């Protein structure tokens, strides 16, 4: 796996490429919280938890197999009491912390941690104005790391069943919330050590004391987690806006564009948003080709929050309208997942699968903030970089399992339909139903104000420089979308 595209020596795709002795993709927070708990129980020296949000009241798996408390805050305190050499570092986005800290039980937990010399908490404000720290990484003894899109906070827990009625899907305050779809990875070995280095640098950038690497990490792999990969290369990509201690880093955006250019048959992606001009332009170039790939994107019906729908949903409507105009060969679709009872499932996962060749999971979305303004971290597996067989089958199987989850069927049915039709879109259309299924995105009407907000990217700027630039001087959302630009068919090659 190479860090640079043959077509451009300036496009750096990876910060590091390291081997993983074992690796697995974990879908939805029920499994993630259980595996994370099991890994933390095995830690000897250090646990580093880095995230956009962190709620100490959230249940971390179950305590059925150990004597520890269920909630993450009390569990961390219990761990350090029972492991004399263990230290725990928690780094979360500073600006978004105040609402969480307002909860009484969280304040008590923070006060308890402050008194404990082996528990260290920092609020990360090391980002430009209006930016956020959005990476979601947990590192155990520098030997095992979890990297993806799941935060240890409220509203995240769910199973792959995404039931309409789920008594366990409640917030710490007892209020139920809707179905939630998410994804992360577990990686072991040298790549975990690299992610540990990234988190230590992030900690120091936020004002924390220097941490040395853990000299000899223990075997912290969760016993119940079956590895999808063994002895594979893993690429680590980041978004970091320019700060005093580093220049702008656009590895994530460059990799997205390179992967879209590389695809031969299928691009399958799950993302919380679809608002990036650069991603849409890369897709448009492929849609103009007579024999380009199919593009299937799974999005939530609407963005979560009060401001996000104004910023993200309006931009999505404008971009999808333009892409459908470009889609003269009928190869572009956007879908939403629904439960058996017809409830929308919120898509928070950030997953991209290119053909059966490349699998990418991380914290970044298809929006400008993720590509230019916030801090992000993704990991990528590339079958072309492996000499051992079976990697393509695993990557294709993970995509098929996601489709099976969304369509309420099994992997065998997905595999058979794909083999028969050779088409992601035809496979989905053949299996759509009134219950658990994927439904196609319908473009909503936009008011003139909403169109202006989307086209100027006022609420989703392309980096810190646009925050203070007049909207009339910014590159428009649709500035180059309908232009046909020839592409290189392959941009990432194995070592």
Q: Dihedral sign, CA of 278, 282, 285, 287? A: negative
**How confident is the model over 228-256, as a mean pLDDT?**
91
Q: Is the pLDDT at 242 greater than 70, yes or no?
A: yes
Whole-number average pLDDT of the chain: 87
Q: Is the pLDDT at 97 greater than 90, yes or no?
A: no
Q: What is the pLDDT of residue 468?
A: 37
Query: How far is the C-alpha of 363 from the C-alpha of 151, rounded, in Å?
Result: 10
Rounded to 5 degrees, φ, ψ at 162 are 45, 60
Query: How far is the C-alpha of 203 from the C-alpha of 222, rounded, in Å?
Result: 26
Q: Is the pLDDT at 141 greater than 90, yes or no?
A: yes
Residue 116 or residue 266, greater confidence: 266
Residue pLDDT, tens place only, 21-57 = 999 999 999 999 999 999 999 999 999 999 988 888 9
Q: Is the pLDDT at 119 greater than 50, yes or no?
A: yes
Which of 85-89, 92-96, 240-244 is least confident? 92-96
* Percentages (nearest 5) of helix, strand, coil residues in the chain: 35, 25, 45
Q: Dihedral sign, CA of 113, 96, 72, 85? A: negative
β-strand 137-140 against 46-51: which pairing, if any? antiparallel
- Buried/exposed code over 177-205 (b: 16+ C-beta within 10 A; e: otherwise): ebbbbbbbbbbbbbbbbbbbbbbbebbeb
Task: Say what the pTM is.
Answer: 0.90
DSSP states along 233-288: EEEEEEEE--BTTB--EEHHHHHHHHHHHH-SSEEEEE-S-B--HHHHHHHHHHHT
Q: Is residue 199 a contact partner of residue 91, using CB atoms and an 8 Å limit?
A: yes
Q: Is the pLDDT at 442 greater than 80, yes or no?
A: yes
- CA-wise closest residue to 77 among 47, 69, 48, 85: 69
Which of 54-68, 191-205, 304-318 is least confident? 304-318
Q: What is the pLDDT of residue 318?
A: 87
Give long-range contacts, CB 8 A cutoff, 24+ apart: 396-401. 396/353, 396/356, 398/25, 398/228, 398/353, 398/359, 399/268, 399/353, 399/356, 399/359, 401/27
Q: What is the pLDDT of residue 469?
A: 46
3-class DSSP state of 157: coil
Q: What is the pLDDT of residue 371?
A: 92
Q: Is the pLDDT at 4 greater than 50, yes or no?
A: no
DSSP states along 409-432: S-HHHHHHHHHHH--HHHHHHHH-
Q: Is the pLDDT at 95 greater than 90, yes or no?
A: no
Q: Which helix (H) or strand (E) holds 448?
A: helix 448-456
Query: How far is the C-alpha of 354 from the C-alpha of 359, rounded, in Å?
Result: 7
* The two three-digit tokens of residue 421, written as one number: 């039709």
Highest averaged pLDDT of the listed ranges 277-291, 442-456, 470-484: 277-291
Rg (CA), the chain: 22
Which of 82-96, 109-123, 319-333, 374-388 is least confident? 109-123
Q: What is the pLDDT of residue 311?
A: 78
Q: What is the pLDDT of residue 491?
A: 35
Q: What is the pLDDT of residue 312?
A: 85
* Beta-ladder partners of 381: 359
* The two three-digit tokens of residue 381, written as one number: 């597996």
Domains annotated for the chain, with CATH where assigned, are: 20-231 (3.30.870.10), 232-473 (3.30.870.10)
Alpha carbon 34 to chain centroid, angstroms: 19
Q: What is the pLDDT of residue 306?
A: 61
DSSP states along 289-300: STT--EEEEE--
Q: What is the pLDDT of residue 408?
A: 97
* Beta-ladder partners of 229: 23
Q: What is the pLDDT of residue 477?
A: 61
**How confident is the model over 279-292, as a mean pLDDT?**
94
Query: How far is the C-alpha of 220 from the C-alpha of 8, rounded, in Å?
Result: 40
Q: Is the pLDDT at 461 greater than 60, yes or no?
A: no
Q: Is residue 116 a contact partner of residue 80, using CB atoms and an 8 Å limit?
A: yes
**How confident is the model over 445-453, as a mean pLDDT?**
67
Q: Is the pLDDT at 456 greater than 80, yes or no?
A: no
Q: Percent of the chain beyond pLDDT 90?
A: 66
Highest averaged pLDDT of the listed ranges 50-64, 149-163, 306-320: 149-163
Query: How far is the C-alpha of 66 from the C-alpha of 82, rounded, in Å?
Result: 12
Q: What is the pLDDT of residue 185?
A: 98
Q: Is the pLDDT at 419 greater than 80, yes or no?
A: yes
Rounded to 5 degrees, φ, ψ at 356 are -105, 20
Q: Is residue 261 a contact partner of residue 233, using CB atoms and an 8 Å limit?
A: no
């Amino acid at each position: 796996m190479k860090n640079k595209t043959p077509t451009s020596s300036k496009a750096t795709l990876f910060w590091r490429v390291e081997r993983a002795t074992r690796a697995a993709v974990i879908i939805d927070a029920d499994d993630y919280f259980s595996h994370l708990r099991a890994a933390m129980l095995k830690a000897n020296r250090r646990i580093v938890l880095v995230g956009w949000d962190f709620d100490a009241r959230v249940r971390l798996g179950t305590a059925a197999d150990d004597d520890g408390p269920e909630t993450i805050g009390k569990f961390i305190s219990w761990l350090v009491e029972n492991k004399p050499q263990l230290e725990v570092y928690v780094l979360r986005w500073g600006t978004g912390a105040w609402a969480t800290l307002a909860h009484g039980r969280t304040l008590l937990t923070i006060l308890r941690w402050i008194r404990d010399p082996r528990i260290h908490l920092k609020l990360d404000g090391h980002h430009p104005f209006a930016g956020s720290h959005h990476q979601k990484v947990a590192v155990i003894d520098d030997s095992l790391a979890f990297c993806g899109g799941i935060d240890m906070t409220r509203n995240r827990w769910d199973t792959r069943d995404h039931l309409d009625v789920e008594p366990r899907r409640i917030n710490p305050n007892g209020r139920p919330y809707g179905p939630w779809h998410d994804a992360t990875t577990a990686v072991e070995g040298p790549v975990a050590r690299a992610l540990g280095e990234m988190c230590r640098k992030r900690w120091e950038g936020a004002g924390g004391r220097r941490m040395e690497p853990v000299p000899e990490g223990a075997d912290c792999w969760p016993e119940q987690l079956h590895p999808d990969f063994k002895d594979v290369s893993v690429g680590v990509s980041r978004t970091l806006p320019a700060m005093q201690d580093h220049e702008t880093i656009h590895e994530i955006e460059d990799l997205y564009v390179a992967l879209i250019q590389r695809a031969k048959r299928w691009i399958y992606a799950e993302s919380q948003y679809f608002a990036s001009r650069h991603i849409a332009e890369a897709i448009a170039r492929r849609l103009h080709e007579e024999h380009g790939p199919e593009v299937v994107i799974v999005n939530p019906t609407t963005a979560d929050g009060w401001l996000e729908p104004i910023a993200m949903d309006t931009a999505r409507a404008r971009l999808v309208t333009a892409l459908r105009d470009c889609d003269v060969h009928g190869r572009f679709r956007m879908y939403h997942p629904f439960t058996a009872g017809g409830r929308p499932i919120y898509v928070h996962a950030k997953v991209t699968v290119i053909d059966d060749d490349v699998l990418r999971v991380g914290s970044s979305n298809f929006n400008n903030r993720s590509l230019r303004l916030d801090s992000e971290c993704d990991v990528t597996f590339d079958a072309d970089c492996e000499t051992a067989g079976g990697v393509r089958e695993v990557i294709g199987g993970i995509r098929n399992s996601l489709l099976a989850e969304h369509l309420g069927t099994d992997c065998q049915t997905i595999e058979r339909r794909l083999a028969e039709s050779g088409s992601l879109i035809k496979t989905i259309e053949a299996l759509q139903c009134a219950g658990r299924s994927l439904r196609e995105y319908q473009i909503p009407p936009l008011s003139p104000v909403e169109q202006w907000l989307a086209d100027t990217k006022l609420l989703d700027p392309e980096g810190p420089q646009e925050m203070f630039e007049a909207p009339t001087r910014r590159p428009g959302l649709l500035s180059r979308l309908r232009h046909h630009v020839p592409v290189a068919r392959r941009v990432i090659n194995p070592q």
